[in-house]
Chain A
Amino acid sequence: MKKRALAMLAGALTLGVLLAGCGSGKDAAGDGKQQTGPASKYVFALDGVEVAVNADMAPLAEALGEPSDYFESESCAFQGLDKVYTYGGVIIRTYPQDGKDYVLSVELKDDAVPTREGIYIGADREAVLAAYGQPTDETATALRYVDGDCTLAFILAENMVTGITYTSDAA
């Protein structure tokens, strides 16, 4: 009788040990998401360095050198730092996850920095359509192209491009 009871207890404890050993891969206080999202054909190139959304920022920051401006803010409850790197007319925002920083968005702020397909601030709507084809969706003020984990948006005013952003689906 006692043996059976002990066997059951042992079984339960074994189950507990098994549970403890089968780590889910999630950080207990963290997000648990991994960078497994699909890549996108929409990638920005800055000084020859390809900057894709959801890419690890550390090697990019090293390759790009000293930013002209840098800002960081602590997220609520210390879940990491939201960082903003400015390289001339290009702003790269990152989000923290599992102890690393990943590219959340790339924003082009002036006409000195075109997209790989040659569109820049000040280009007209027709030039965007010629370079990228029909958008995934469009409004009176934006053309949006979605591919993989990236949304490339051209913001328009009076049919002229006034803003260009590459945004991660993590946003």
Chain B
Amino acid sequence: MKGRRWPAALGVALGVLGILYLAQRLLVPKYQTGVVEGSMVAEYYRERVDHDLIFIGDCEVYENFSPVTLWEDYGISSYIRGSAQQLPWQSYYLLEDTLRHETPKVVVYNVQALRFSRPQSEAYNRMTIDGMRWGPAKVRCILASMTEDEHFIEYLFPLLRYHDRWGELTGDDVEHLFAKDPVTHAGYYMRADVKPQTGFPAPQALADYTFGDMPMDYLGRMADLCREKGVELILIKAPIEYPYWYDQWDGQAAAFAAEQGLTYLNLIPLRQEIGLDMTRDTYDAGLHLNVRGAEKLAAWFGGWLLERIDLPDRRGEPAYDAVWEEKTALYDAMKQQQYAEIEQYGELVTFGANAVEG
């Protein structure tokens, strides 16, 4: 009799686990419409070719550089490991995670997030961390990122965090229960609309302009890790004026780079040389570039990079050609779709904040 109980108990246990698994798959946010930024980090693991150039950072990289342009103009295979409000410790662990999969020749890190001295927001943490593959880098990233109200176990079992999302479920949660659509183009988030930059408030005076210990520690770790792996680390500040990038911050970034033997490039004063016209090349009044601006910036930056570093032109290599041909087709199709929506409705309706989850 006892012997017959075990299979039944096992069956029930597996059934319960199955239900919990399905519930978790259903309840975790899918980030497929509107706020798609939570899908970005996981998309990287679908990549089928290696990259010679990796960008790491927040929206100042994933909205401002077009990898398709870098491919079309220079044959550079690149990827942006970006996420919304990506903090320096998250950038470090994403770098560590990336270098487990491949060894690029160059890593470009955008320094804007150095202004954050401590964990900020659970919503942004989730968008960066949930998509990471489990491993030591993800565990350490969670521990470094958690705000005081967060719990590690909720990252381990997201059902514990999202169990009360029943009332918020949409068609997207069912449609993308097991598979998600790509939302980026090699990590680039595309917007084709235009909202001219008009002006920004005066910068706030700060009592202390010194970057915090935590971000500088992780920046140092990024430099060490790149050195150890033979990867050239380049620090940049994207050509975006707001949030304000203080001269004092710029000086610290430059001093760190000089001390570490790295290149630091502040792109704000180079906007004219790049050809950026902020009355046409931004979709949100100057906070981020639109696709036209991102293509201009990528074209300029690729040229600047090749003057300094010998990156291979992968065009003509069948494996790369196949992958990038596919990416370019998807990129062009989305660009045309966005232009068509703008033409028809005067604004984007299926992308960005206007998009409504199905």
Contacts and interface: CB of A to CB of B under 8 A. Distances in A.
**Contact count band on A:** 35 or more
Interface stretch (A4-12, A52-60, A112-120, A125-133): A4-12
B165 A28 contact: yes
Interface in A35-85: 69, 71, 73-79, 84
Contacts of B285: 73
A155 interface: yes
A31 B123 contact: yes
B34 A78 contact: yes
B204 A91 contact: yes
Given A73-B285, A77-B35, A142-B208, A16 B19 contact: yes
Given A24-B164, A71-B200, A76 B59 contact: yes
Nearest to A144: B207
Interface in A130-171: 139, 141-142, 144, 151, 153-155, 162-163, 165
B303 interface: no
A79 B352 CA distance: 12
Chain A contact surface mostly: mixed
A69 to B, nearest CB: 7
B146 to A, nearest CB: 11
A40 to B, nearest CB: 16
A29 B124 CA distance: 9
A79 B12 contact: no
A95 B4 CA distance: 61
Contacts of B160: 19
Contacts of B122: 26, 30-33
A155 B205 contact: yes
A162 B205 contact: yes
Contact of A5 (B9, B34, B353): B9
Interface centre among A71, A105, A154 (most CB of B within 10 A): A71
Nearest to B60: A76
A14 B15 CA distance: 14
Contacts of A19: 159-160, 163
Contacts of A71: 199-201
Interface residues of B, number: 52
Contacts of B19: 12-13, 16
Nearest to A154: B207
Given A5-B8, A73-B287, A142 B37 contact: no
A124 interface: no
A75 B20 CA distance: 34
Nearest to B198: A71
Contact of A32 (B5, B149, B208): B149
Contacts of A24: 161, 164
Given A73-B287, A76-B84, A31 B207 contact: no
Given A9-B15, A23-B164, A144-B207, A77 B124 contact: yes
B202 A12 contact: no
Contacts of A107: 204-205
Interface string B295-320: 00000000000000000000000000
Contacts of A20: 163-164, 166
Contacts of B58: 76
B205 A28 contact: no
A71 B8 CA distance: 64
Contacts of B284: 73-74
B29 A29 contact: yes
Contact of B35 (A5, A23, A78, A109): A78
Interface of B: 4-5, 8-9, 11-12, 15-16, 19-20, 23, 29, 34-35, 37-38, 58-59, 84-85, 121-124, 127, 147, 149-150, 159-166, 168, 199-202, 204-208, 242, 284-285, 287, 352-353
Given A107-B204, A155-B205, A155-B207, 10 more contacts: A1-B8, A26-B122, A28-B29, A31-B123, A73-B287, A78-B34, A78-B35, A91-B204, A153-B207, A155-B206
User: 7 shortest A-B CB distances, which residue pairs?
Assistant: A163-B205, A153-B207, A77-B84, A142-B207, A76-B84, A77-B37, A12-B16
Interface of A: 1-2, 4-5, 8-9, 12-13, 16, 19-24, 26, 28-33, 69, 71, 73-79, 84, 86, 91, 93, 105, 107, 109, 139, 141-142, 144, 151, 153-155, 162-163, 165
